[in-house]
Amino acid sequence: MDKITVTSPLLPNLDEFNEMLKDVWASKWITNGGQFHQRLESALAEYLKVPYICLFTNGTLPLLTALQALRISGEVITTPYSFVATTHSIWWNGCRPVFVDIEESTCGIDPNKIEAAITPKTTAIMPVHCYGKPVNMEAIQAIADKYGLRVIYDAAHAFGVAINGKSVLNAGDMATLSFHATKVYNTLEGGALVVHDEATKNRIDYLKNFGFANETDVVAPGINSKMDEVRAAYGLLNLKQVDEAIEKRHQVAIKYRAALRNVPGVRFFDDMPGVRHNYSYFPIFINAEVYGMTRDELYFKMKANGVLGRRYFFPLISTFSTYRGLPSAAPSNLPVATRIANEVICLPMHHELCERDVERILELIVN
């Protein structure tokens, strides 16, 4: 039995990629801001409708660097319902993560719970656009302005997401992206940081290259997180086909929703009005009492039949050994996130799913 995976990477045309590789080899410039790196930055800024973008070698380093660039210290308010890189980046910068519960409607941080978590040590908020569903950015910014806090968005899932034509990546002080192979758009492995002005971009570019401002001056304790020319070339080719891939994902989402809408005990997200979604994930949430089966029972039933869903995000970051001793990590402080983490399965969602694959997945859930 063929396995149906939760994701499949977007791959460029091999012949085109080989031609680009020939150009890379001919130039003998394979890293340190070469022509393909510069072209990809320009192309992504135009596609995403953002003023400046800095490329990175993965999606975690932009989080680390954003905190460094903004000189964040003390406490950072964030969500326990995310990939561990979100909170790890705070910890690696010597800051203390403070967990706030999430909204059921988006699985993002609940703005109504943020103010109660603010202390004199709070310096920033790090929300996540979970599954590419935009959080309430206006409410978060209003709180940040009121208390003089910085806002860094973990937008790893939000490539191309826009509200009424405006990119969500323009919100806050900075926003980060992941270009990992599992994402809607990928550069094999990679990431980016979106900033609003040229001076900040220059500082980020220094920080991701050991802090070098020129041949002899090191202006900050930077790190090596530059994207190489091979991945930049790969990314340029994938950018040409990402819209088609998103539309194919959209069609899969339509089929899932039509089949699952009236299944008792199964909940999912509909599109948000005015939002251009990227269909990066398709999570469903299982109410065991109504559905007649627990989330884990369904998950392992699917797995036994070759359908590899993902309990994403489970367990919560706040339950891991590094963080569970924090007062904000107590399950009683995070009732919605705790419940959602025990209900979620992300169904296979990618541009290569065929009609038969979708039918096979749905048969296991509906029957």
**Residues 154, 291 within the same domain:** no
**Residues 272, 226 within the same domain:** no
User: Over the range 82-101, which residues count as b (16 or more CB within 10 Å of their CB) and which as e?
Assistant: bbebbbbbbeebebbbbbbb
6: in domain: no
pLDDT for 2: 87
**Residues 324, 208 within the same domain:** no
Contact (Cβ atoms closer than 8 angstroms) between residue 107 and residue 58: no
Final residue of a structural domain among 213, 239, 265:
239
Mean pLDDT, 10 residues at a time, the chain of 367 residues: 92 96 96 97 98 98 98 98 98 98 98 98 98 98 98 98 98 98 97 98 96 94 97 98 98 98 98 98 98 98 97 98 98 98 98 97 96
pLDDT for 356: 96
3-state secondary structure of 124: strand
Contact (Cβ atoms closer than 8 angstroms) between residue 253 and residue 349: yes
pLDDT for 176: 98
Q: How many domains does one find in the chain? A: 2
Final residue of a structural domain among 239, 254, 274:
239
1: in domain: no
257: in domain: yes
We report the CATH number of the domain holding residue 206 as 3.40.640.10
What residue numbers bound the domain in which 171 lies? 14-239
**Residues 220, 336 within the same domain:** no
Tokens of 137: 């950015």
**Residues 217, 262 within the same domain:** no
pLDDT for 223: 96
We report the CATH number of the domain holding residue 277 as 3.90.1150.10
Residue 172 region by backbone torsions, left for phi larger than 0, else alpha for psi between -120 and 50, else beta: left
pLDDT for 194: 98
**Residues 80, 173 within the same domain:** yes
User: Over the range 139-173, which residues count as b (16 or more CB within 10 Å of their CB) and which as e?
Assistant: ebbebbeeeebbbbbbbbbbbbbbeeeebbbbbbb
**Residues 217, 266 within the same domain:** no
Tokens of 316: 């919560």
d(CA 233, CA 144): 38
217: in domain: yes
Write down the pTM of the prediction. 0.97
3: in domain: no
Place of tokens 């045309």: 13
Final residue of a structural domain among 180, 210, 239:
239
H or E element at residue 237: helix 229-239
